[in-house]
Structure 1
Protein backbone atom coordinates (compact mmCIF):
# COMPACT_ATOMS: atom_id res chain seq x y z
CA UNK A 1 0.00 0.00 0.00
CA UNK A 2 1.18 3.54 -0.80
CA UNK A 3 2.78 5.38 2.10
CA UNK A 4 2.70 9.12 1.57
CA UNK A 5 6.06 9.56 3.27
CA UNK A 6 7.56 7.69 0.33
CA UNK A 7 5.85 10.06 -2.09
CA UNK A 8 7.43 13.03 -0.29
CA UNK A 9 10.90 11.55 -0.22
CA UNK A 10 10.80 10.28 -3.80
CA UNK A 11 9.72 13.72 -4.97
CA UNK A 12 12.43 15.36 -2.87
CA UNK A 13 15.09 13.15 -4.43
CA UNK A 14 13.78 13.66 -7.95
CA UNK A 15 13.65 17.45 -7.65
CA UNK A 16 16.74 17.77 -5.44
CA UNK A 17 14.64 19.90 -3.13
CA UNK A 18 13.19 19.83 0.38
CA UNK A 19 11.62 23.25 0.04
CA UNK A 20 7.96 24.07 0.61
CA UNK A 21 6.55 27.49 -0.26
CA UNK A 22 3.73 28.87 1.84
CA UNK A 23 0.83 30.56 0.08
CA UNK A 24 -0.17 33.31 2.54
CA UNK A 25 -1.93 35.91 0.35
CA UNK A 26 -2.00 39.33 2.05
CA UNK A 27 -3.53 42.02 -0.16
CA UNK A 28 -1.49 44.77 1.51
CA UNK A 29 1.61 43.17 -0.06
CA UNK A 30 0.14 42.76 -3.57
CA UNK A 31 1.54 44.84 -6.46
CA UNK A 32 -0.81 47.30 -8.11
CA UNK A 33 -1.37 45.22 -11.24
CA UNK A 34 -3.14 42.58 -9.15
CA UNK A 35 -5.41 45.11 -7.48
CA UNK A 36 -6.59 47.15 -10.48
CA UNK A 37 -10.00 45.50 -10.61
CA UNK A 38 -10.34 44.75 -6.90
CA UNK A 39 -13.04 46.34 -4.81
CA UNK A 40 -12.03 45.77 -1.21
CA UNK A 41 -15.71 45.67 -0.29
CA UNK A 42 -16.20 42.77 -2.69
CA UNK A 43 -14.96 39.40 -1.51
CA UNK A 44 -15.53 38.05 -5.01
CA UNK A 45 -12.97 40.37 -6.59
CA UNK A 46 -10.57 39.77 -3.69
CA UNK A 47 -10.86 36.05 -4.30
CA UNK A 48 -9.95 36.56 -7.96
CA UNK A 49 -6.89 38.60 -6.97
CA UNK A 50 -5.78 35.93 -4.50
CA UNK A 51 -6.06 33.21 -7.14
CA UNK A 52 -4.15 35.33 -9.67
CA UNK A 53 -1.40 35.96 -7.11
CA UNK A 54 -1.15 32.26 -6.25
CA UNK A 55 -0.92 31.27 -9.90
CA UNK A 56 2.06 33.57 -10.40
CA UNK A 57 3.79 32.14 -7.34
CA UNK A 58 3.07 28.54 -8.32
CA UNK A 59 4.34 29.11 -11.86
CA UNK A 60 7.53 30.65 -10.46
CA UNK A 61 8.32 27.93 -7.90
CA UNK A 62 6.93 24.73 -9.42
CA UNK A 63 10.23 23.47 -10.84
CA UNK A 64 12.15 24.06 -7.62
CA UNK A 65 9.93 22.97 -4.71
CA UNK A 66 8.07 19.81 -3.83
CA UNK A 67 5.02 21.36 -2.22
CA UNK A 68 2.97 24.49 -1.62
CA UNK A 69 1.37 25.18 1.74
CA UNK A 70 -1.76 27.36 1.78
CA UNK A 71 -2.35 28.96 5.17
CA UNK A 72 -6.12 28.67 5.47
CA UNK A 73 -6.73 31.78 7.56
CA UNK A 74 -5.82 33.99 4.60
CA UNK A 75 -8.64 32.40 2.59
CA UNK A 76 -11.29 31.90 5.26
CA UNK A 77 -11.26 35.61 6.11
CA UNK A 78 -12.96 36.28 2.74
CA UNK A 79 -15.74 33.75 3.22
CA UNK A 80 -16.96 31.58 0.39
CA UNK A 81 -15.00 33.54 -2.23
CA UNK A 82 -11.80 33.02 -0.29
CA UNK A 83 -12.53 29.30 0.01
CA UNK A 84 -13.23 29.17 -3.72
CA UNK A 85 -9.82 30.77 -4.33
CA UNK A 86 -8.28 28.06 -2.14
CA UNK A 87 -10.07 25.31 -4.06
CA UNK A 88 -8.89 26.73 -7.38
CA UNK A 89 -5.36 27.11 -5.99
CA UNK A 90 -5.27 23.46 -4.91
CA UNK A 91 -6.49 22.39 -8.33
CA UNK A 92 -3.94 24.55 -10.13
CA UNK A 93 -1.05 23.35 -7.98
CA UNK A 94 -1.90 19.79 -8.95
CA UNK A 95 -1.63 20.65 -12.65
CA UNK A 96 1.99 21.53 -11.84
CA UNK A 97 2.53 18.18 -10.05
CA UNK A 98 2.97 19.89 -6.68
CA UNK A 99 2.09 18.34 -3.34
CA UNK A 100 -0.43 20.44 -1.38
CA UNK A 101 -0.11 20.80 2.39
CA UNK A 102 -3.13 22.55 3.89
CA UNK A 103 -1.89 24.54 6.88
CA UNK A 104 -5.16 24.29 8.78
CA UNK A 105 -4.01 23.34 12.30
CA UNK A 106 -7.32 21.59 12.92
CA UNK A 107 -8.17 19.49 15.94
CA UNK A 108 -11.29 18.88 18.02
CA UNK A 109 -13.18 16.10 19.78
CA UNK A 110 -13.28 12.79 17.99
CA UNK A 111 -16.39 13.14 15.82
CA UNK A 112 -15.58 16.71 14.80
CA UNK A 113 -11.98 15.79 14.07
CA UNK A 114 -13.27 12.99 11.87
CA UNK A 115 -15.28 15.56 9.90
CA UNK A 116 -12.24 17.84 9.59
CA UNK A 117 -10.20 14.84 8.43
CA UNK A 118 -12.75 14.05 5.71
CA UNK A 119 -12.68 17.67 4.57
CA UNK A 120 -8.91 17.85 4.23
CA UNK A 121 -7.79 14.29 3.55
CA UNK A 122 -10.48 12.68 1.39
CA UNK A 123 -11.45 13.71 -2.13
CA UNK A 124 -13.30 16.94 -1.42
CA UNK A 125 -12.50 20.17 -3.28
CA UNK A 126 -10.64 21.35 -0.16
CA UNK A 127 -8.59 18.20 0.21
CA UNK A 128 -4.88 18.50 -0.29
CA UNK A 129 -2.30 15.75 0.19
CA UNK A 130 -1.44 16.60 3.79
CA UNK A 131 -2.78 18.74 6.60
CA UNK A 132 -1.36 20.24 9.80
CA UNK A 133 -3.13 19.01 12.94
CA UNK A 134 -3.34 20.43 16.46
CA UNK A 135 -2.87 17.46 18.82
CA UNK A 136 -3.30 19.30 22.09
CA UNK A 137 -6.84 18.05 22.65
CA UNK A 138 -5.46 14.56 23.07
CA UNK A 139 -5.42 11.35 21.05
CA UNK A 140 -9.15 11.28 20.28
CA UNK A 141 -8.58 14.59 18.52
CA UNK A 142 -5.74 13.50 16.24
CA UNK A 143 -6.33 9.78 15.70
CA UNK A 144 -9.21 10.44 13.25
CA UNK A 145 -6.69 12.27 11.07
CA UNK A 146 -4.31 9.30 11.28
CA UNK A 147 -7.13 6.98 10.20
CA UNK A 148 -8.20 9.22 7.32
CA UNK A 149 -4.63 9.67 6.11
CA UNK A 150 -4.13 5.90 6.12
CA UNK A 151 -7.42 5.29 4.30
CA UNK A 152 -6.79 7.88 1.58
CA UNK A 153 -3.02 7.42 1.25
CA UNK A 154 -2.24 10.92 2.45
CA UNK A 155 -0.29 12.43 5.35
CA UNK A 156 -0.44 14.67 8.40
CA UNK A 157 1.88 16.89 10.40
CA UNK A 158 1.15 17.10 14.13
CA UNK A 159 2.12 20.36 15.84
CA UNK A 160 4.96 19.62 18.22
CA UNK A 161 7.49 22.43 18.74
CA UNK A 162 6.29 25.39 16.71
CA UNK A 163 8.43 28.28 15.44
CA UNK A 164 6.64 31.18 17.15
CA UNK A 165 8.52 32.95 19.99
CA UNK A 166 5.86 32.22 22.61
CA UNK A 167 5.66 28.48 21.90
CA UNK A 168 7.62 27.82 25.10
CA UNK A 169 4.75 29.16 27.23
CA UNK A 170 2.86 25.88 26.86
CA UNK A 171 4.94 23.49 24.78
CA UNK A 172 7.93 23.68 27.14
CA UNK A 173 5.96 23.22 30.34
CA UNK A 174 7.45 20.52 32.54
CA UNK A 175 5.29 17.63 33.67
CA UNK A 176 5.55 15.89 37.04
CA UNK A 177 8.05 13.52 35.44
CA UNK A 178 10.31 16.45 34.58
CA UNK A 179 9.65 15.89 30.89
CA UNK A 180 8.56 18.82 28.72
CA UNK A 181 5.08 18.71 27.24
CA UNK A 182 6.25 18.51 23.62
CA UNK A 183 8.53 15.58 24.56
CA UNK A 184 5.55 13.74 26.05
CA UNK A 185 3.68 14.29 22.81
CA UNK A 186 6.66 12.97 20.85
CA UNK A 187 6.54 9.85 23.04
CA UNK A 188 2.88 9.41 22.08
CA UNK A 189 3.58 9.87 18.37
CA UNK A 190 6.55 7.49 18.27
CA UNK A 191 4.71 4.12 18.33
CA UNK A 192 2.24 5.34 15.72
CA UNK A 193 5.06 6.38 13.41
CA UNK A 194 6.96 3.14 13.94
CA UNK A 195 3.94 1.10 12.88
CA UNK A 196 3.36 3.10 9.69
CA UNK A 197 6.78 3.21 8.03
CA UNK A 198 7.23 3.04 4.27
CA UNK A 199 10.11 1.93 2.08
CA UNK A 200 12.24 4.93 3.11
CA UNK A 201 11.71 4.13 6.79
CA UNK A 202 9.45 7.14 7.38
CA UNK A 203 5.81 7.39 8.39
CA UNK A 204 3.00 9.45 6.89
CA UNK A 205 2.61 10.80 10.45
CA UNK A 206 4.96 13.77 10.59
CA UNK A 207 5.60 16.56 13.07
CA UNK A 208 5.91 20.34 12.93
CA UNK A 209 9.25 21.42 14.39
CA UNK A 210 10.27 25.06 13.97
CA UNK A 211 13.49 26.11 12.27
CA UNK A 212 14.00 28.58 15.11
CA UNK A 213 14.61 25.71 17.56
CA UNK A 214 17.49 23.62 16.16
CA UNK A 215 18.72 22.42 19.56
CA UNK A 216 15.28 21.11 20.44
CA UNK A 217 15.08 19.52 16.99
CA UNK A 218 18.16 17.39 17.74
CA UNK A 219 16.43 15.88 20.75
CA UNK A 220 13.11 15.46 18.99
CA UNK A 221 14.82 13.65 16.10
CA UNK A 222 16.20 11.12 18.60
CA UNK A 223 12.67 10.41 19.78
CA UNK A 224 11.06 10.47 16.33
CA UNK A 225 13.47 8.88 13.83
CA UNK A 226 10.59 7.82 11.57
CA UNK A 227 8.63 11.10 11.35
CA UNK A 228 9.18 13.66 8.63
CA UNK A 229 9.52 17.14 10.08
CA UNK A 230 7.71 20.10 8.56
CA UNK A 231 10.03 22.97 9.45
CA UNK A 232 8.45 26.46 9.38
CA UNK A 233 10.29 29.62 10.33
CA UNK A 234 13.08 29.56 7.73
CA UNK A 235 13.82 33.02 6.38
CA UNK A 236 11.50 35.82 7.49
CA UNK A 237 10.90 34.31 10.95
CA UNK A 238 14.61 34.04 11.68
CA UNK A 239 15.44 30.40 10.95
CA UNK A 240 18.94 30.14 9.44
CA UNK A 241 20.08 27.78 6.70
CA UNK A 242 23.21 26.79 8.63
CA UNK A 243 21.03 25.45 11.47
CA UNK A 244 18.92 23.16 9.28
CA UNK A 245 21.27 20.19 9.14
CA UNK A 246 19.95 18.74 12.39
CA UNK A 247 16.48 18.33 10.90
CA UNK A 248 17.68 15.86 8.22
CA UNK A 249 18.95 12.31 8.50
CA UNK A 250 22.31 11.09 7.18
CA UNK A 251 20.79 10.62 3.72
CA UNK A 252 19.49 14.18 3.51
CA UNK A 253 15.90 13.05 4.04
CA UNK A 254 13.35 13.47 6.80
CA UNK A 255 12.49 17.17 6.67
CA UNK A 256 10.59 19.71 4.57
CA UNK A 257 11.70 23.31 5.01
CA UNK A 258 8.94 25.88 4.67
CA UNK A 259 9.30 29.51 3.67
CA UNK A 260 6.42 31.87 2.98
CA UNK A 261 6.89 35.64 3.20
CA UNK A 262 10.61 35.48 2.46
CA UNK A 263 9.84 34.03 -0.97
CA UNK A 264 6.40 35.15 -2.08
CA UNK A 265 6.97 38.80 -1.14
CA UNK A 266 10.67 39.00 -2.02
CA UNK A 267 9.95 41.68 -4.62
CA UNK A 268 9.33 44.13 -1.76
CA UNK A 269 12.84 43.76 -0.35
CA UNK A 270 14.89 46.95 -0.47
CA UNK A 271 12.75 48.85 -2.92
CA UNK A 272 10.30 51.66 -2.31
CA UNK A 273 8.58 51.26 -5.67
CA UNK A 274 7.63 47.61 -5.21
CA UNK A 275 3.95 48.42 -5.74
CA UNK A 276 4.69 49.11 -9.40
CA UNK A 277 6.51 45.82 -10.05
CA UNK A 278 5.32 44.05 -13.21
CA UNK A 279 4.02 40.51 -13.34
CA UNK A 280 7.10 39.32 -15.23
CA UNK A 281 9.48 40.95 -12.75
CA UNK A 282 7.52 39.61 -9.80
CA UNK A 283 7.69 36.09 -11.14
CA UNK A 284 11.39 36.39 -11.99
CA UNK A 285 12.32 37.58 -8.50
CA UNK A 286 10.23 34.89 -6.80
CA UNK A 287 11.87 32.20 -8.91
CA UNK A 288 15.38 33.50 -8.27
CA UNK A 289 14.73 33.70 -4.52
CA UNK A 290 13.33 30.18 -4.53
CA UNK A 291 16.38 28.81 -6.36
CA UNK A 292 18.68 30.54 -3.87
CA UNK A 293 16.74 29.22 -0.87
CA UNK A 294 16.83 25.71 -2.29
CA UNK A 295 20.60 25.95 -2.79
CA UNK A 296 21.09 27.13 0.79
CA UNK A 297 19.03 24.23 2.11
CA UNK A 298 20.77 21.67 -0.08
CA UNK A 299 24.13 22.94 1.12
CA UNK A 300 23.39 21.51 4.56
CA UNK A 301 22.05 18.25 3.16
CA UNK A 302 24.14 15.72 1.29
CA UNK A 303 25.70 17.32 -1.75
CA UNK A 304 25.07 14.23 -3.84
CA UNK A 305 21.58 12.84 -3.35
CA UNK A 306 20.58 9.47 -4.80
CA UNK A 307 18.75 9.44 -8.12
CA UNK A 308 15.57 7.41 -8.59
Structure 2
Protein backbone atom coordinates (compact mmCIF):
# COMPACT_ATOMS: atom_id res chain seq x y z
CA UNK A 1 0.00 0.00 0.00
CA UNK A 2 1.43 3.35 -0.97
CA UNK A 3 1.83 5.82 1.87
CA UNK A 4 0.53 8.57 -0.43
CA UNK A 5 -2.85 6.80 -0.73
CA UNK A 6 -3.21 5.41 2.78
CA UNK A 7 -6.42 6.98 4.08
CA UNK A 8 -7.27 4.43 6.75
CA UNK A 9 -5.95 5.04 10.27
CA UNK A 10 -2.66 3.36 11.03
CA UNK A 11 -4.12 1.54 14.04
CA UNK A 12 -6.74 -0.08 11.82
CA UNK A 13 -4.18 -1.10 9.20
CA UNK A 14 -1.85 -2.48 11.85
CA UNK A 15 -4.56 -4.57 13.47
CA UNK A 16 -5.50 -5.98 10.07
CA UNK A 17 -1.85 -6.88 9.44
CA UNK A 18 -1.65 -8.67 12.80
CA UNK A 19 -4.82 -10.62 12.08
CA UNK A 20 -3.49 -11.64 8.66
CA UNK A 21 0.21 -12.24 9.42
CA UNK A 22 0.64 -12.62 13.17
CA UNK A 23 2.10 -10.34 15.82
CA UNK A 24 5.81 -10.47 14.93
CA UNK A 25 7.77 -7.34 14.03
CA UNK A 26 10.92 -8.09 12.08
CA UNK A 27 13.72 -5.84 13.29
CA UNK A 28 15.81 -5.48 10.14
CA UNK A 29 18.89 -4.30 12.02
CA UNK A 30 22.19 -4.92 10.22
CA UNK A 31 24.38 -5.42 13.29
CA UNK A 32 28.04 -5.91 12.42
CA UNK A 33 27.89 -9.32 14.11
CA UNK A 34 24.91 -10.42 12.03
CA UNK A 35 26.56 -9.26 8.82
CA UNK A 36 29.64 -11.29 9.74
CA UNK A 37 27.53 -14.36 10.53
CA UNK A 38 25.82 -14.00 7.16
CA UNK A 39 29.17 -13.73 5.38
CA UNK A 40 28.46 -10.17 4.28
CA UNK A 41 30.77 -7.14 4.47
CA UNK A 42 30.03 -4.41 6.99
CA UNK A 43 29.50 -1.89 4.20
CA UNK A 44 26.63 -0.24 2.32
CA UNK A 45 26.67 -3.12 -0.17
CA UNK A 46 26.53 -5.62 2.70
CA UNK A 47 23.60 -3.98 4.47
CA UNK A 48 21.76 -3.67 1.14
CA UNK A 49 22.05 -7.42 0.53
CA UNK A 50 21.13 -8.12 4.17
CA UNK A 51 18.02 -5.94 3.87
CA UNK A 52 16.97 -7.51 0.57
CA UNK A 53 17.22 -11.08 1.89
CA UNK A 54 15.48 -10.19 5.16
CA UNK A 55 12.55 -8.41 3.49
CA UNK A 56 12.07 -11.27 1.02
CA UNK A 57 11.97 -13.75 3.91
CA UNK A 58 9.53 -11.90 6.17
CA UNK A 59 7.13 -10.30 3.69
CA UNK A 60 3.67 -11.74 4.26
CA UNK A 61 4.77 -13.48 7.47
CA UNK A 62 5.05 -10.56 9.91
CA UNK A 63 2.85 -7.65 10.93
CA UNK A 64 5.53 -5.11 9.98
CA UNK A 65 9.23 -4.57 9.61
CA UNK A 66 11.02 -2.41 12.17
CA UNK A 67 14.38 -1.22 10.87
CA UNK A 68 16.62 0.55 13.41
CA UNK A 69 17.83 3.69 11.66
CA UNK A 70 21.14 3.81 13.54
CA UNK A 71 22.49 0.67 11.87
CA UNK A 72 22.01 2.31 8.49
CA UNK A 73 23.09 5.81 9.50
CA UNK A 74 26.48 4.53 10.70
CA UNK A 75 27.37 4.07 7.02
CA UNK A 76 26.66 7.71 6.22
CA UNK A 77 24.66 8.82 3.20
CA UNK A 78 25.17 5.49 1.44
CA UNK A 79 23.67 3.65 4.40
CA UNK A 80 20.71 6.05 4.58
CA UNK A 81 20.15 5.39 0.87
CA UNK A 82 19.86 1.67 1.68
CA UNK A 83 17.27 2.47 4.35
CA UNK A 84 15.36 4.61 1.87
CA UNK A 85 15.35 1.72 -0.59
CA UNK A 86 14.21 -0.77 2.07
CA UNK A 87 11.30 1.44 3.16
CA UNK A 88 10.27 2.01 -0.45
CA UNK A 89 10.37 -1.68 -1.32
CA UNK A 90 8.36 -2.57 1.77
CA UNK A 91 5.74 0.00 0.78
CA UNK A 92 5.55 -1.40 -2.75
CA UNK A 93 5.04 -4.90 -1.37
CA UNK A 94 2.35 -3.87 1.09
CA UNK A 95 4.51 -4.51 4.16
CA UNK A 96 3.98 -2.03 7.00
CA UNK A 97 7.10 -0.30 8.30
CA UNK A 98 7.80 1.06 11.78
CA UNK A 99 11.01 3.06 11.64
CA UNK A 100 12.87 2.99 14.94
CA UNK A 101 14.32 6.51 15.15
CA UNK A 102 13.19 7.62 18.65
CA UNK A 103 12.78 11.24 17.60
CA UNK A 104 12.04 13.78 20.31
CA UNK A 105 12.20 17.57 20.10
CA UNK A 106 9.97 20.63 20.29
CA UNK A 107 8.07 22.85 17.92
CA UNK A 108 9.28 23.26 14.37
CA UNK A 109 12.13 20.78 14.88
CA UNK A 110 9.74 17.99 15.86
CA UNK A 111 7.56 18.94 12.93
CA UNK A 112 10.58 18.65 10.60
CA UNK A 113 11.38 15.18 11.96
CA UNK A 114 7.76 14.20 11.34
CA UNK A 115 7.90 15.49 7.75
CA UNK A 116 11.07 13.48 7.15
CA UNK A 117 9.33 10.20 8.00
CA UNK A 118 5.55 10.59 8.04
CA UNK A 119 4.80 12.86 5.10
CA UNK A 120 3.51 10.87 2.12
CA UNK A 121 6.14 10.93 -0.60
CA UNK A 122 9.04 11.73 1.73
CA UNK A 123 12.20 9.81 0.79
CA UNK A 124 12.33 8.12 4.21
CA UNK A 125 8.58 7.65 4.52
CA UNK A 126 7.44 4.98 6.98
CA UNK A 127 4.05 3.92 8.25
CA UNK A 128 5.03 4.77 11.82
CA UNK A 129 8.03 5.93 13.84
CA UNK A 130 9.18 5.62 17.43
CA UNK A 131 9.29 8.87 19.41
CA UNK A 132 10.59 10.01 22.79
CA UNK A 133 8.27 12.06 25.07
CA UNK A 134 10.90 13.20 27.55
CA UNK A 135 10.72 16.86 26.54
CA UNK A 136 7.08 16.74 27.65
CA UNK A 137 4.16 14.87 26.14
CA UNK A 138 3.03 18.01 24.31
CA UNK A 139 6.29 17.99 22.36
CA UNK A 140 4.88 15.04 20.39
CA UNK A 141 1.87 16.94 19.11
CA UNK A 142 3.38 18.17 15.80
CA UNK A 143 4.25 14.59 14.89
CA UNK A 144 0.87 13.31 16.07
CA UNK A 145 -1.02 15.85 13.98
CA UNK A 146 0.87 14.94 10.82
CA UNK A 147 0.62 11.22 11.50
CA UNK A 148 -3.12 11.22 12.10
CA UNK A 149 -3.75 13.43 9.06
CA UNK A 150 -2.07 10.91 6.76
CA UNK A 151 -2.97 7.51 8.24
CA UNK A 152 0.40 7.15 9.96
CA UNK A 153 1.34 6.15 13.49
CA UNK A 154 3.63 6.79 16.44
CA UNK A 155 5.05 4.53 19.13
CA UNK A 156 5.91 6.46 22.27
CA UNK A 157 8.63 5.28 24.67
CA UNK A 158 6.89 4.45 27.94
CA UNK A 159 8.50 1.54 29.80
CA UNK A 160 11.71 0.56 28.08
CA UNK A 161 13.67 -2.63 28.62
CA UNK A 162 16.97 -1.01 29.63
CA UNK A 163 17.82 -1.42 33.34
CA UNK A 164 18.06 2.32 34.01
CA UNK A 165 14.63 3.11 32.54
CA UNK A 166 12.78 3.12 35.88
CA UNK A 167 14.89 6.07 37.11
CA UNK A 168 12.78 8.30 34.88
CA UNK A 169 9.79 6.22 33.84
CA UNK A 170 8.68 5.18 37.34
CA UNK A 171 9.40 8.61 38.86
CA UNK A 172 6.45 10.67 40.08
CA UNK A 173 5.36 13.89 38.43
CA UNK A 174 4.33 16.98 40.37
CA UNK A 175 0.83 15.50 40.54
CA UNK A 176 2.17 12.24 42.07
CA UNK A 177 1.57 10.28 38.88
CA UNK A 178 4.25 7.99 37.45
CA UNK A 179 5.83 9.50 34.34
CA UNK A 180 5.05 6.37 32.31
CA UNK A 181 1.38 6.62 33.27
CA UNK A 182 1.19 10.23 32.07
CA UNK A 183 2.75 9.12 28.78
CA UNK A 184 0.20 6.31 28.40
CA UNK A 185 -2.69 8.67 29.09
CA UNK A 186 -1.43 11.10 26.45
CA UNK A 187 -1.01 8.33 23.87
CA UNK A 188 -4.59 7.21 24.46
CA UNK A 189 -5.85 10.79 24.27
CA UNK A 190 -4.19 11.76 21.01
CA UNK A 191 -4.39 8.47 19.16
CA UNK A 192 -7.51 6.65 20.35
CA UNK A 193 -9.29 4.72 17.65
CA UNK A 194 -13.00 4.31 17.13
CA UNK A 195 -14.83 1.95 19.46
CA UNK A 196 -13.27 -1.50 19.24
CA UNK A 197 -10.37 -0.30 17.09
CA UNK A 198 -6.70 0.09 17.90
CA UNK A 199 -5.37 3.60 18.31
CA UNK A 200 -2.76 5.00 15.93
CA UNK A 201 -0.47 6.15 18.76
CA UNK A 202 1.02 3.16 20.54
CA UNK A 203 3.46 2.62 23.38
CA UNK A 204 6.88 1.01 23.57
CA UNK A 205 6.80 -1.33 26.58
CA UNK A 206 9.62 -3.79 27.10
CA UNK A 207 8.82 -7.44 27.67
CA UNK A 208 11.36 -7.46 30.51
CA UNK A 209 9.68 -4.82 32.73
CA UNK A 210 8.09 -7.34 35.07
CA UNK A 211 4.76 -6.22 36.52
CA UNK A 212 5.36 -2.49 35.96
CA UNK A 213 2.97 -2.14 33.02
CA UNK A 214 0.04 -3.32 35.11
CA UNK A 215 1.24 -2.14 38.52
CA UNK A 216 1.65 1.47 37.33
CA UNK A 217 -1.78 1.40 35.67
CA UNK A 218 -0.80 1.75 32.01
CA UNK A 219 -3.18 -1.05 31.00
CA UNK A 220 -6.18 0.83 32.40
CA UNK A 221 -5.04 4.24 31.19
CA UNK A 222 -4.51 3.26 27.56
CA UNK A 223 -6.81 0.38 26.60
CA UNK A 224 -6.79 1.02 22.83
CA UNK A 225 -3.08 1.41 22.17
CA UNK A 226 -0.94 -1.15 20.35
CA UNK A 227 2.15 -2.18 22.30
CA UNK A 228 5.54 -2.45 20.63
CA UNK A 229 7.43 -4.85 22.86
CA UNK A 230 11.21 -5.23 22.58
CA UNK A 231 12.98 -7.62 24.91
CA UNK A 232 11.88 -10.92 23.40
CA UNK A 233 14.37 -13.43 22.04
CA UNK A 234 18.01 -12.36 22.47
CA UNK A 235 17.11 -10.08 25.42
CA UNK A 236 15.59 -12.90 27.42
CA UNK A 237 11.79 -12.72 27.29
CA UNK A 238 9.77 -15.54 25.75
CA UNK A 239 6.16 -16.42 24.88
CA UNK A 240 5.28 -17.13 28.52
CA UNK A 241 6.09 -13.53 29.43
CA UNK A 242 3.31 -12.19 27.21
CA UNK A 243 0.47 -12.81 29.65
CA UNK A 244 2.66 -12.32 32.74
CA UNK A 245 3.84 -8.84 31.72
CA UNK A 246 0.84 -7.53 29.77
CA UNK A 247 -2.13 -9.32 31.33
CA UNK A 248 -5.38 -8.64 29.50
CA UNK A 249 -3.54 -6.36 27.06
CA UNK A 250 -1.54 -9.27 25.63
CA UNK A 251 -3.67 -9.20 22.49
CA UNK A 252 -2.27 -5.75 21.68
CA UNK A 253 1.37 -6.84 21.89
CA UNK A 254 3.67 -6.68 18.87
CA UNK A 255 6.64 -8.98 19.43
CA UNK A 256 9.78 -7.24 18.19
CA UNK A 257 12.56 -9.62 17.18
CA UNK A 258 15.82 -8.84 15.39
CA UNK A 259 18.78 -11.08 16.22
CA UNK A 260 16.43 -13.78 17.52
CA UNK A 261 14.79 -13.89 14.12
CA UNK A 262 17.55 -13.04 11.65
CA UNK A 263 20.19 -15.28 13.20
CA UNK A 264 18.66 -18.07 11.07
CA UNK A 265 19.90 -16.38 7.87
CA UNK A 266 21.24 -15.95 5.31
CA UNK A 267 19.68 -19.02 3.68
CA UNK A 268 16.23 -17.73 2.60
CA UNK A 269 14.43 -21.04 3.08
CA UNK A 270 15.86 -21.56 6.56
CA UNK A 271 15.02 -17.98 7.45
CA UNK A 272 11.41 -18.32 6.28
CA UNK A 273 11.02 -21.56 8.21
CA UNK A 274 12.35 -19.88 11.36
CA UNK A 275 9.93 -16.97 10.95
CA UNK A 276 7.04 -19.42 10.62
CA UNK A 277 8.20 -21.27 13.76
CA UNK A 278 8.34 -18.00 15.72
CA UNK A 279 4.90 -17.01 14.44
CA UNK A 280 3.47 -20.18 15.97
CA UNK A 281 5.34 -19.70 19.23
CA UNK A 282 4.01 -16.16 19.69
CA UNK A 283 0.51 -16.73 18.30
CA deviation map 1:111-168 (0-9, x unaligned): 1000000001012110110000111111342001110101211111111111122211
Structure 1 runs of 4+ aligned residues shifted over 4 Å read: 31-34
Q: Which residue is equivalent to 1:275?
A: none
Deviation larger for 123-132 or 94-103: 94-103
* Structure 1 position 24, deviation (Å): 0.9
Residues 190-243 of structure 1 show CA distances to partners (whole Å, capped at 9, x for unaligned) of 32234xx13642210111111112422333111100111111111111122111
Which among 107, 110, 125 is matched to residue 107 of structure 2? Answer: 110
**In the alignment, is residue 208 of structure 1 matched against residue 204 of structure 2?**
yes
Distance 1:203 1:262, change over 3 A: same
Three-state SS of the structure 1 residue aligned to 2:61 is coil
| Distance in 1 between residues matched to 2:84 and 2:263, nearest whole Å | 22
The answer (yes or no) to whether the contact 2:117–2:129 under 8 Å persists in 1 is yes
Matched, 1:91 2:88: yes
Say yes or no: does 1:6 pair with 2:12: yes
Matches within 5 A, 1:146-157: 146-157=144-155
Gaps of 5+ in 1: 41-45, 268-278, 299-308
Alpha carbons 1:20, 1:256 under 8 Å: kept: yes
CA distance in 2, matches of 1:21, 1:137: 29
1:59 maps onto 2:59 in alignment: no
Cα deviation 1:274-297 (Å, max 9, x = unaligned): xxxxx4xx3233222221221111
Separation of aligned partners in 2, 1:33 and 1:171: 37
Count of residues paired in the alignment: 273
Name 1:293's counterpart in structure 2: 278
TM superposition shift of 1:50? 0.4
In structure 2, the partner of 1:271 is: none
When normalised by structure 1's length, the TM-score is 0.82
What do you get for the CA RMSD once the two structures are aligned?
A: 2.1
Residue of structure 2 equivalent to 1:24: 29
**2:149 paired with 1:135:** no
Between the aligned partners of 1:168 and 1:289, the Cα distance in structure 2 is 34
Q: Please give the alpha-carbon distance, in whole angstroms, between the structure 2 residues aligned to 1:214 and 1:81.
A: 40
Aligned pair in 2 of structure 1 residues 266, 153: CA closer, same or farther (>3 Å)? same
Find the residue that maps to 1:179 and give its secondary structure.
coil
Deviates more, 1:93-102 or 1:178-187: 178-187
Question: How far did 1:33 drift?
Answer: 6.9
Where does residue 82 of structure 1 map in the other structure? 79
Question: What displacement does 1:78 show?
Answer: 1.0
Secondary structure of the structure 1 residue equivalent to 2:261: helix
The 8 Å contact of residues 127 and 152 in structure 2, kept in 1 or not, is answered as: yes
> Equivalents in 1 of 2:247, 2:24: separation in Å?
13
